């Protein structure tokens, strides 16, 4: 028995530990499992080839890479790139020398890995050959082998910085604990490397988190007494306590919290219930100015909606305490006004994690089935149907009034129109729309 620990991918496992078979693009070849150890697709000349190299080297047994297909993938040309890699290697920029497709750069591999692959693995070019001819070639090279191969997937990946700045992210969370988990995950996976005044970070710009049920909750890694102490002694304490500021001092004294509450009581529909915590005369000069700069309360439909803006937000360590304090503040204002709770929105202009704390993350990068339940969309719902060779989508409000109608000749056009003119739906509803359009497209064929 042989155990292979490989990255996940679009491949199948056979019984011959010496042969890897590559299917270019949509091409598929039906081979006996005794003729290959791993067989999978290749669509791109960058990430696709990187995965082949890593997985082939991890097996420790594969000697032959057999390339099959009947036509190369337009624009990307992974077959041509793979041949060029074996013939020429890569340049100093990790670009495959002589590859003509889009972005044939193996930036996630070292030159040592690439050279080891080129020297250890023999390329068997069967591109354009018939399956019977390919099977004959394989039997001549290695013959039929019936070895039990056990596959174990690698579940932990190295958290590399994202290659470009991500600006503008919307996250919907069920509660404050869910908000922290999703925000932390997002910054860890998609954060661009930025050297701040306090050291290297992974950063996303303008991350907005909508918390649908924002009651105060206990975080699994923080004792309740620590959260309560933070709220009592810092977040809602009017005294500075020797530091440059506390949120309590800024909220209660500098921003006149009680005056804002009076304004809300006297004029519930106001848009002027604003707390500004940033002091421009001092905060550009002090070592540690406040990260939370702005709080606004809005009462609509007898519900309180709270929006908070952070100029800078450490989502791994500070976020849980901040969320707990904001949730307690939101709860307090609801009671003062005698209204129900709406959403809390947290806008983090710089949402980041310091690189020296990344090791604290226990991040599962392989997502499996989770329990879910249907959630109503605040923008209503959509019905999709065919009529007179057109695909039609009718958008209804939550109270069943028609809002707008999309009428298109193709599913592609309809998807683009909905994406442009109906922004803000829950992500799972866009996925559902795509599925329904796909069903109608099949009916047309």
Active-site positions read 291
The sign of the dihedral angle between the CA atoms of 321, 273, 291, 192 is positive
Name 391's Cβ contacts closer than 8 Å, sequence gap at least 6. Answer: 384, 385, 407, 408, 409, 410, 411, 414, 437, 440, 441
Q: Exposed, middle or buried by CB within 10 Å (0-12, 13-18, 19+), for 259? A: exposed
Shortest CA distance to 393 belongs to which of 374, 419, 428, 427?
419
Q: In 191-318, which residue ranges form alpha helices assigned H by DSSP?
A: 224-230, 247-249, 257-266
Cα–Cα distances (Å) from 307 to 10, 272, 274, 297, 326, in that order, read 43, 13, 10, 7, 10
Q: Exposed, middle or buried by CB within 10 Å (0-12, 13-18, 19+), for 279? A: middle
Residue listed under structure tokens 């009916």 = 443
Both structure tokens of 46: 């960058």
Q: What are phi and psi of 263, to 5 degrees?
A: -60, -40
Kindly state the helix (H) or strand (E) to which residue 300 belongs, with its residue range: strand 292-300
Sheet with 122-125, strands from edge to edge, namely 11-13, 38-42, 19-24, 64-68, 122-125
Both structure tokens of 231: 């709220």
| Residues pairing with 391 in the sheet | 386, 408
d(CA 42, CA 75): 14
- 314 close to 183: Cβ distance less than 8 angstroms: no
- 278 close to 290: Cβ distance less than 8 angstroms: yes
The radius of gyration computed from the CA coordinates of the chain, to the nearest angstrom, equals 28
d(CA 120, CA 246): 62
């Amino acid at each position: 028995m042989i155990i292979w620990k490989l990255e996940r991918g679009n491949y199948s496992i056979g019984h011959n530990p010496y042969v890897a078979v590559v299917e270019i693009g949509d091409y598929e070849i039906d081979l006996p499992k005794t003729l290959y150890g791993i067989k999978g697709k290749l669509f791109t000349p960058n990430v696709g080839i990187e995965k082949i190299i890593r997985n082939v080297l991890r097996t420790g047994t594969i000697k032959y890479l057999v390339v099959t297909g009947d036509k190369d993938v337009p624009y990307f040309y992974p077959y041509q790139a793979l041949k060029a890699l074996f013939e020429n290697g890569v340049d100093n920029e990790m670009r495959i020398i002589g590859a003509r497709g889009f972005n044939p750069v193996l930036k996630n591999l070292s030159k040592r890995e690439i050279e080891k692959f080129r020297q250890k693995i023999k390329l068997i070019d069967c591109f354009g050959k018939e399956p019977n001819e390919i099977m004959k070639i394989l039997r001549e090279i290695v013959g039929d082998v019936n070895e039990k191969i056990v596959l174990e997937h690698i579940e932990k990946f190295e958290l590399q910085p994202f290659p470009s700045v991500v600006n503008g992210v919307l996250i919907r969370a069920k509660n404050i604990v869910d908000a922290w988990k999703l925000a932390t995950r997002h910054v860890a996976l998609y954060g661009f490397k930025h050297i701040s005044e306090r050291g290297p970070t992974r950063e996303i710009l303008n991350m907005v988190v909508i918390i649908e049920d924002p009651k105060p909750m206990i975080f699994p890694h923080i004792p309740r007494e620590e959260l309560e102490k933070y709220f009592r002694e810092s977040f809602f304490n009017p005294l500075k306590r020797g530091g440059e500021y506390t949120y309590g001092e800024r909220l209660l004294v500098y921003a006149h919290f009680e005056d804002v509450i009076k304004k809300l009581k006297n004029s519930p529909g106001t848009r002027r219930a604003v707390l500004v915590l940033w002091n421009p005369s001092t905060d550009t000069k002090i070592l540690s100015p406040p990260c939370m700069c702005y709080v606004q309360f809005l009462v609509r439909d007898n519900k309180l909606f709270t929006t908070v803006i952070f100029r800078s937000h450490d989502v791994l360590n500070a976020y849980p305490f901040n969320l707990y304090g904001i949730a307690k503040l939101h709860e307090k204002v609801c009671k003062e006004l005698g209204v129900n709770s709406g959403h809390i929105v947290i806008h983090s202009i710089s949402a980041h994690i310091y690189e020296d704390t990344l090791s604290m993350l226990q991040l599962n990068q392989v997502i499996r089935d989770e329990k879910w339940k249907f959630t109503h969309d605040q923008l209503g719902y959509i019905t999709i149907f065919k009529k007179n060779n057109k695909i039609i989508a009718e958008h209804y409000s939550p109270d069943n009034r028609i809002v707008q109608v999309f009428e298109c000749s193709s599913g592609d056009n309809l998807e683009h129109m909905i994406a442009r003119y109906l922004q803000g739906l829950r992500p799972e509803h866009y996925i559902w729309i795509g599925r329904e359009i796909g069903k109608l497209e099949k009916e047309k064929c």
